[in-house]
Chains A and B, each alone.
Chain A
Amino acid sequence: MSAPEMFLDADGTQIGAIPADLLDPETLVETHHALVLARRFDMQAGVLARQGRLVVYPSALGQEACQVGAVLALEPEDWFFPTYRDSMAMVVRGIDPVEVLTPQRGDRHCGHDPYEHRTAPPCTPLATQLPHAVGLAMAARSRGDRLAVLAFCGDGASSEGDFHEALNFAAVYQAPVVFLVQNNQYAISVPFREQTRAASLAAKADGYGMPGRRIDGNDVLMVRHAVGEALAAARAGAGPALIEAVTYRMGPHTTADDPSRYRDPEEERLWAARDPLARFGAFLRERGTLTEIVEKAAEADAEALADDLRARLEQEPVFDPADLFEHVYAEPTQRLRAQAAYLRAQMDAEHAAAEAAAEGARR
């Protein structure tokens, strides 16, 4: 198969003509800054999971270019549909990192307000968010609102029925949706070659009647460019698009996984040599854009983000039993009210018993 589209090769050497708007120094620095923060966030979240501050964390180490490049291509009025592995993307979207990690912290299913950031709750059942993205795009268009929707999924999700139904729906109704598949080569342990016999995931676009593109997902400029073009076309009424970003999940599926059981370390070394940050950094250094000041500023902001995250996740979340019952329906049923009162009484009794035991120990 031919190589995916790229602007920069693995060493950061420019091998294609890059559109001028992407080479604007401010754009380049913004992109670099986001990449550095995203990686620092991801590393910190992994540490917090190993310390037990998060119940689990699905890292996207190695996929920074996909997540950063795609989200930076969004306009504020656009909508974004992430999965559970897209925490970095949500941070780049502007959501408070603590809110992003709230589901993994384990006290609430979703930490952010979807309307404030035009970002759906991160979706766990594979590909099931894709038809939502299509429906939202159809609704926006029916109201005459000029916006596009960006929906993420992975290579494993492309085998799900909802992937097919969503792409077919989007094409039939020419909905303004861009589907970005981060092909990170593994669905937990199952390698991509066992996921499909199709020549590529991008090739599937033909079957739906939409444009498909296969790009290097570790080339942040290519991701930003390809997603930006597709979003602009969608906003202009040209319909949906499918983009396959070829990348690699450098870490385990989650903090509970052990990739040494199914992956060749040689393969990991191969992909480490294609690291998206090293590649973009080399390109920027070559251009003279990545000055020491720029680099230090990004590192300082990344450390500040990590420090803030650690400090705030040290705090125990406040548990209010009413939270579990209040929002099941717009108006809680009598049965739910009774259960809420019972749980509160039980928690109060537990608390009182613990206090009494502590008091006894002091005497």
Chain B
Amino acid sequence: MTGSTLAGAVNSALRDAMAADERVVVFGEDVGRLGGVFRVTDGLRAEFGAERCFDTPLAEAGILGAAIGMAMYGLRPVVELQFDAFAYPAFEQVVSHLARMGNRTRGRMRLPVVVRIPYGGGIGAVEHHSDSSEAYAVHTPGLHVFTPATAGDAYGMLRAAIASPDPVLFFEPKRLYHVRAETDPAKETVAPIGTAVLRREGADAVLIAYGPAVPIALEAAAAARTEGWDLAVLDLRTLVPLDEETICDVVSRIGRAVVVHEAAGFGGFGAELAALIGERCFARLAAPVRRVTGLDIPYPPPRWERHHLPNVDRVLDAVATLGIR
């Protein structure tokens, strides 16, 4: 299943990275024989052998800790934590060691580990399968945090993550896994780290989004035409490092911004963006920055999730408060 979907693009990136560099190893729960619960690692064990793509015991801290030890010895581990909310046992290893070892050893012992985390909701799952935990990650100095919204970016950003000397938490929007790509992602080049991309130009306001919120922002921008609003969409792609220059350039030019993300709003990444824009672009703003986010509740049961997640209506409601014309 290479090429045509976001999941396939991740698979292609892993395969190409493993072929290009024998230090790259892939492991986690069910990633070997099964090819992952989302089939993202399908075929890697057959192609590269059980030494380089293997199943682990059910032990997320152990997976992360072992990856750290392997990276200390010169390997480039790419581990999968099966679901966002099952990644929490690994949190201590990520925060206390993965993020800090390079700094602790003054650059002597960098840890080029990539942690792949299928994240976010919208798939009708029971509890613990739909969290958006990026805010925990971005608040930890020493980590890079990526989240692609397209198959092309999934390929290019994962190749960049694996090549990076820094540890990367790679959040994959699982509800976009099976969306068809317009082009063959494997033909995309390695994406530059720390660059946001303007998915749609617009004059009245910019919707700033990442990961699973990008298609919602694009849909909202299309729907806004009927209201007579011309909305731009900025896809951040990497939350750390953050492309502050592009954000400020775009917002300063357009004058109005709405941040869209799936995670709860309180203390979320949108607050950081609103603060950044307020600090750096205040004089160019025609309206306060608005946020459209998940509700400030624990992720709801599946029959409620459509009421929790940001959608086109909520984005347009926010845009309506910006005083456009």
Residues of A within 8 A of B (CB): 108-110, 113-115, 120-121, 125, 128, 130-140, 142-143, 161-162, 165-166, 168-169, 172, 323, 326-330, 333-335
Contacts and interface: CB of A to CB of B under 8 A. Distances in A.
A120 B105 CA distance: 9
B109 A131 contact: no
A327 B66 contact: no
A132 B97 contact: yes
B111 to A, nearest CB: 10
14 contacts: A131-B65, A131-B68, A132-B65, A135-B65, A136-B72, A137-B69, A138-B66, A140-B73, A169-B66, A172-B57, A327-B107, A329-B142, A330-B165, A334-B244
Given A128-B92, A168-B62, A329-B166, A139 B69 contact: yes
A39 B34 CA distance: 54
Interface in B300-317: none
B116 interface: no
Contacts of A132: 65-66, 68-69, 72, 97
A172 B102 CA distance: 29
A50 B273 CA distance: 47
Nearest to A114: B109
B51 A142 contact: yes
A110 B105 contact: yes
B105 A114 contact: yes
Given A115-B108, A121-B104, 4 more contacts: A134-B66, A162-B61, A327-B107, A329-B166
Nearest to B167: A329
B61 A135 contact: no
A139 B89 contact: no
B103 A133 contact: no
A69 to B, nearest CB: 24
B166 A330 contact: yes
B93 A128 contact: yes
Nearest to A175: B66
B144 interface: yes
A329 B144 contact: yes
A28 B93 CA distance: 40
Nearest to B68: A132
A131 B165 contact: no
Contacts of A131: 61-62, 64-66, 68-69, 93
B59 interface: yes
Interface of B: 25, 51, 56-57, 59, 61-62, 64-75, 77, 89, 92-93, 96-97, 100-110, 141-142, 144, 164-166, 240-241, 244
The 3 A-B residue pairs with the shortest CB-CB distance in the complex, in nearest-first order: A131-B65, A135-B69, A165-B62
A135 B72 contact: yes
Given A115-B109, A136-B73, A109 B104 contact: yes
B61 A165 contact: yes
Nearest to B241: A333
Given A109-B103, A135-B69, A139-B69, A169 B56 contact: yes
A121 B65 contact: no
Q: Which of A110, A128, A327, A334 has the most CB of B within 10 A?
A: A327
Contacts of B241: 329, 333
A263 to B, nearest CB: 30
Q: Which of A114, A133, A139 has the most CB of B within 10 A?
A: A139
A110 B93 CA distance: 18
Nearest to A335: B244
Nearest to A116: B108
Contacts of B92: 125, 128, 162
Q: Which of B64, B69, B74, B165 has the most CB of A within 10 A?
A: B69
A283 B249 CA distance: 77
A161 B58 CA distance: 12
Q: Which of A114, A125, A136, A161 has the most CB of B within 10 A?
A: A136
Contacts of A136: 69-70, 72-73
A329 B142 CA distance: 6
B91 to A, nearest CB: 11
B62 A121 contact: no
B68 A135 contact: yes
A138 B102 CA distance: 21
A130 B65 contact: yes
Nearest to B59: A165
Contacts of B66: 131-132, 134-135, 138, 169
Q: Which of A109, A121, A131, A135 has the most CB of B within 10 A?
A: A135
Given A169-B59, A327-B103, A327-B107, A139 B70 contact: yes
Contacts of A110: 104-106
Given A109-B104, A121-B105, A128-B93, A134 B69 contact: yes
A322 to B, nearest CB: 11
Contacts of A120: 72
B97 to A, nearest CB: 6
Q: Which of B51, B62, B103, B244 has the most CB of A within 10 A?
A: B62
B199 to A, nearest CB: 24
